Structure 1
Amino acid sequence: MQEYLIVDGYNIIFAWPEFEKFKESSLDHARSKLVAILANYSPLSGQKVVVVFDAYQQKNITGKAEFIDGVEVVYTQHGETADTLIERLAGDLSKDGLVYVATSDWAEQGIIFGRGAYRITPGELRMQVNHVKQENEELWSESKPVDSYLENRLLEKVRLKLEKWRREKG
Structure 2
Amino acid sequence: MDAAAKPRRVPRRVSADYLRRAAMYYLERYSAPAEQLRRVLQRKIVASCRHHEQDPAAFAGMRDTVVARCVASGLVDDTRFAEARAASLRRKGQSGRAVAAKLAAKGIARDLAARSAEGGEDVELAAARIAARRKRLGPWRRPDRPFDRQKEIAALARAGFAPALARAVIDGEAEPDGLEA
Q: TM-score, normalised by structure 2?
A: 0.25
Q: TM-score, normalised by structure 1?
A: 0.26
Higher helix share: 2
Higher strand share: 1
